[in-house]
Amino acid sequence: MNELRIFFTGAGSPGFNGILKGFRVGAKEEGRKIKVITADMNPDAYGFHLADKGYVIPPGNVDNFLEKMLEICDKEKPRLLVSGVDPELLPLAKAKPDFRRYGVEVVLSDWKAIELAQDKGKLYDFFKPYGFVPEYKRVKNVKEFKEAANSLGYPEKPVCFKPVFSYGMRGFRIMRPDADKVDLLFKYKPSSAFINFSEALEILKQAEAQGRFPDLLVMEYLEGKEYTVDLLARKGKSLVTIPRERVVTKEGISTVAKLEKNKEIIEYAETITEKLGFDYCINMQFRYSSDGYPKLIEVQPRFAGTTIACIGAGANLPYLALKLALGEKIPEVKVKWGTVMKRFWDEVFVLGEKQWFYGIKFEV
C-alpha cells in the first residue's frame, strides 16, 4: 500500500492520543504506512510530540482558519482531513468542495447535519416529538429563566441549564436548593457544576445588563446512569453502535467507562443517526430519567474524547472511518462487551529539540 497521509487537528484535545493510537494500530495491522500531520491553536499542545509533523493554526471560528488549513493541505498533500475540534467542524464541512480540489477528503458529516447537532435548541425541538429529550425551556433573558426554572419544578426539584451553543462542560450548571456556598468552596473542586439559584441569577443579571445573555436551555435534571454512544455511520445508517456507561467522569471526560450492549439506547442512537443522516464517526450522550427512560443530552458529530474505550474492546472506529472515507470494505466488528476502560495520565518530556517518554510499558 502507498503511504496514507492524514491531517488530524486538535493536537491538544483530551482524546487526540487515543484516536491517534487507533490510526496507527489499524494501519500496522493492515501493513499500511501512514503519516499523521496535526495542528492546534496552542503551540504547547502535547499532540505535536506524537504526530509526524505539526502546525499552529488559528481557531476554527476566525476568518483566516480555512485559508490556513488549505495552505497546509497544499503543502503536505494529505489524503484525508479529520477534525476533533467542535468550532472547526461546520466551516470544514461547508468547505468540502474546496478541499477536494486539493485531493483531500474531509471525514465529516454533511454540514446541515452538523449545524443542527451543534444548535442544542433546534436539536431538542427536532427530537421532542419522539420523546427522546428531557423536559426543557429555551430562554433569552432573566425573566424567562426564572419562569422556566419554576415551571420545571424548582426548588422542589433540581434543575440544570446550559447555553444552546456550547462545547464540553462550558456553561453547564446544576441548580440545587441545597447547594451551599461554603460547601461548594471547601468540599468541591473549582470545576464543580453545582450552583444555587440566587448565585446563578446574580451572574445572569450581570450578563443581561452587559448584553451578553446567551440563549439557554433550562432542563430537568436527570439523575440516572449516563451513557456515551460511539457510532460509525454511512448516509444515516449505523454500521457500528457501541454504548458505554460513563462510570466515573472528571470535568465531563470519562475516566472509567464500561461497554454495555444496551439495546434500548442502541435503538435510540440509530434512529437519531438515520433522521440526521450522519456519516463517519459521531457520538451521543444519554442519561436516564427518574422514570427509567434514556434521554438525549447532546450529539457531537465527531470522535468522542473516549473513543479509545471502543478501540480497546476490539472496535477501532477511528481507523474504520478512514477506510470508509477511502471507499474500502469495512470488516465485521466483534465488540468485547463488558470491557472496562480505566484512564490515567501520561507525560512527554521536551528539552530543546529532544523529546522523550519515561516510565514502564505494560504488556497484556
CATH number at residue 17: 3.40.50.20
CA–CA gap between residue 5 and residue 3 (Å, rounded): 6
What CATH number should be reported for the domain holding residue 274? 3.30.470.20
| Residues 247, 232 share a domain | yes
Q: Which of 170, 185, 220 is the last residue of a domain?
A: 220
Please check whether residues 196 and 237 belong to one and the same domain. no
Question: Could you tell me if 185 and 232 lie in one domain?
Answer: no
- Residue ending a domain, choose from 185, 220, 255: 220
Task: Name the residue type at position 72.
Answer: I
pLDDT at residue 191, as a whole number: 58
Distance CA 231, CA 210 (A): 41
Give a yes or no: residue 129 inside a domain. Answer: no
Q: Is residue 122 part of a domain?
A: no
Looking at residue 364, its pLDDT comes to 39
247 and 202, same domain (yes or no): no
**Same domain? 296 vs 216:** no
Q: Residue 70: which domain range?
A: 4-108
The candidate with the shortest Cα–Cα distance to 358, out of 349, 350, 81, 103, is: 349
Length of the chain: 364
Same domain, 171 and 240: no
Amino acid at site 208 = E
| Domain-terminating residue out of 195, 220, 245 | 220
Classify residue 355: in a domain, yes or no.
no
Q: Identify whether residues 149 and 104 lie together within a single domain.
A: no
CATH, residue 160: 3.30.1490.20
For residues 216 and 228, state if they share a domain: no
Residue 348 placed within a domain: no
pLDDT at position 193 is: 79
* Same-domain status, 195 and 236: no
Q: Is residue 285 part of a domain?
A: yes
Same domain, residue pair 9 and 101: yes
Please report whether residue 88 resides in a domain. Answer: yes
In a domain, 351, yes or no: no
Q: How many domains does the chain have?
A: 3
Are both 18 and 83 inside the same structural domain?
yes
- Let me know: does 241 contact 271? Beta carbons within 8 Å: no
Angle of helix 111-118 relative to helix 120-127, nearest 10 degrees, comes to 100
pLDDT along the chain (364 residues), means of 10: 92 94 96 97 96 97 96 98 95 98 97 96 94 94 95 92 82 78 62 80 92 93 94 96 91 87 97 97 94 94 92 96 96 95 87 81 48
Residues 147 and 249 in one domain: no
* Distances, alpha carbon 332 to alpha carbons 239, 242, 317, in Å: 9, 14, 12
Would residue 91 count as lying in a domain? yes
To the nearest 10°, report the CA torsion of 356, 347, 168, 68.
-20
